[in-house]
Structure 1
Amino acid sequence: MSYLPHNPQDPTLFDYDAVKDLGRELHEKYISGDPFPHIAIDNFLPDNLIDLCIQNFPERPDPGSESFNRDQERYKTSYHPDNMEPKLRHLFYAFNSRPFIRIIENISGIKGLIPDPFFLGGGFHETRQGGHLDMHADFNHHKPLDLERRINVLIYLNEDWKDEYGGQLELWRTDMSEQVQQITPIANRCVMFTTTQQSMHGHPQPVNHPNGQSRRSIALYYYTSTWNSTKASKTTQFYARPNTKDRADWQVRTSEFISDITPPFLMRQFAKAHYRLSQGQRKTGGA
């Protein structure tokens, strides 16, 4: 039996009356999570929905997908919901609905959560054979909506996945001194956690499936209207595990250092020039 109840009227929607109190019984476990508030819930979605995602996972990149292949995130692709088949689009839009948000609020205790209609960084995620995602703290500012990022929800889509296949989600202490949690990304396991600049997470162990299968998941992010000018906007911050070959992202750190020491007026002029250049490249096809 799944944690979220099946809706016989519309399988891709969640019934508010059926879920409005769901998650309150997990709140204490969530906030006491170590090294930061989190929880893992097995058999999270009804079987028909998890099967829908597994059977219709994209076979190749589409116009809305983004692929990454660098030291910190190797062989990773994200797929935007707007390019998926209709039932999958409806499901992702349901993840942004009041009933689903109510469940997240009940579990986390964070009220006033706001979904992301743009799905920035969200959607389906895939890491192919040999790929990994180094330890990091997520970007904290949704600039188009001027919102503060608060909650990550990950739902895994990997059938019969074993520890030796790699790709386990790892949670580490803020100072990167110790791994505290290691969570195997098995199908229909949901992991939810509070995301801050202290919530270090990733799957740094390379994917090593004997049949070459990729690591797949649903990624959903939620925000609150608590952003203000006293907070520093950060992109994803990667950190190296001790005694490993992990590499720091010096390009991002250098860019943020320059931003910190450059007067705001000059930064605004630079941003305008960069925008005009990008628009010109887009119109002419770019390089």
Structure 2
Amino acid sequence: MDRSDYASLIYSRLNAEKESLKQQFDASRGGIGYFYIDDILPEAEAFAIYNNFPKPEEMVLKKSLREDKYVAAQMDKYSPVLEEIIYAFQDERIVKLVGEICGIKNPLPDDNLYAGGISAMGKGQFLNPHLDNSHDKDRQLWRVLNLLYYVTPDWEEAYGGNLELWPKGMDNLQITIHSKFNRLAVMATHNNSLHSVSPVTFDGFRCCVSNYYFSEEPLLATDSFHVTSFRGRPENKLTDLVLRADAWLRMGIRKIFKKGIKENPHVYKKPKD
């Protein structure tokens, strides 16, 4: 299957549930707007995507106090299946429909896969609470939506690796969205979109296909530019202090160097580039 074939299946599934998904997003809009939908593809196609994921050692390990996970955006190194499913979510039909569900005018996909692509997280790995970078790689567009498609069969919620939303801050209980096989989760990204991935406790890998949508306008009138800003989990007070200082320092650098000191390597550098 190519990206158009995948997109047709995804469109059909989303469109069939459009009104209920819109209600789900609208009900959560006051905090961090989100929706999720199961069985976004036929099961056989979802299995094929998972079976074509690279081994973790073939991906890039990002390991620090902020996060511990494997990622990849240089998609021509891997099975063509993965590139096709990633760009299926950038099909004009899908982008427009998701925008309608979330009440966002003219969302734009990201051909560069800036911080998108694929990821895998194994036992002990995590992604601490954070705000995503507010803009695209050229700091021209606002990041407005995060699309996460989970493809690990039989992944139970108790295994960890689940999406966590903190709409009321870290002094309150988070919302957990199970990273269930063949589930698509979509969340809004703005100055209050604090989210994380719970530590993996199972001896296996939670695999995910991710995309971001951007816009010429921010989601909230109060949104302002910020770098990816991490926090420690509520039980990790010292880590929280260190990561807040880290974010403050990196923000200071970006006030001087608009696009940072060095280019973020997590983009898809195609031959034409």
Above 0.5 in TM-score? yes
| CA pair 222-61 structure 1, distance change in 2 beyond 3 A | farther
Alignment match, 1:53: 49
Alignment match, 1:158: 152
Q: Percent identity?
A: 25
Code of the aligned partner of 2:246 = Q
Match of 2:135 among 141, 146, 165: 141
Alignment match, 2:200: 207
- Write out the 4+ residue segments of structure 1 that deviate beyond 6 Å after TM superposition: 7-10
Alignment match, 1:4: none
- Alignment partners' CA distance in 2, 1:174 and 1:224: 25
Match of 1:30 among 20, 25, 29: 25
- Alignment partners' CA distance in 2, 1:136 and 1:216: 20
SS state of the match for residue 142, structure 1?
coil
Match of 1:121 among 106, 115, 118: 115
RMSD in angstroms over aligned alpha carbons? 3.1
Code of the aligned partner of 2:204 = Q
Match of 2:165 among 157, 165, 171: 171
Residue pair 2:227, 2:250 contacting (<8 A) in 1 also = no
- Alignment partners' CA distance in 2, 1:13 and 1:115: 14
| CA pair 54-8 structure 1, distance change in 2 beyond 3 A | closer
Computing the radius of gyration from Cα coordinates, the structure with the larger value is 1
- Alignment partners' CA distance in 2, 1:9 and 1:239: 36
Alignment match, 2:250: 255
SS state of the match for residue 8, structure 2?
coil
- Alignment partners' CA distance in 2, 1:16 and 1:215: 21
- Alignment partners' CA distance in 2, 1:242 and 1:19: 37
Alignment match, 2:234: 242
| CA pair 112-247 structure 1, distance change in 2 beyond 3 A | same
- Alignment partners' CA distance in 2, 1:163 and 1:19: 23
Structure 1 residue 27: Cα displacement:
0.9
- Alignment partners' CA distance in 2, 1:240 and 1:127: 18
- Alignment partners' CA distance in 1, 2:132 and 2:262: 24
| CA pair 55-178 structure 1, distance change in 2 beyond 3 A | same
Aligned pairs, number = 255
- 1:243-264 Cα offsets, whole Å, 9 max, x none, are 435623222321313554xxx5
Q: TM-score, normalised by structure 2?
A: 0.81
- Alignment partners' CA distance in 2, 1:139 and 1:42: 28
- Alignment partners' CA distance in 2, 1:172 and 1:24: 25
Alignment match, 2:271: none
- Runs of 5+ consecutive residues of structure 2 not aligned to the other structure: 266-273
Alignment match, 1:285: none
Code of the aligned partner of 2:157 = D
- Alignment partners' CA distance in 1, 2:210 and 2:132: 13
- 1:38-68 Cα offsets, whole Å, 9 max, x none, are 1121111222331221110011455xx5321
Match of 2:212 among 208, 221, 225: 221
Residue pair 1:44, 1:188 contacting (<8 A) in 2 also = yes
- Runs of 5+ consecutive residues of structure 1 not aligned to the other structure: 1-6, 279-287
Choose 187-196 or 160-169, whichever is displaced more.
160-169
Alignment match, 2:61: 67
Q: TM-score, normalised by structure 1?
A: 0.77
Match of 2:70 among 69, 77, 87: 77
Residue pair 1:173, 1:179 contacting (<8 A) in 2 also = no
Residue pair 2:53, 2:82 contacting (<8 A) in 1 also = no
Residue pair 1:52, 1:88 contacting (<8 A) in 2 also = no
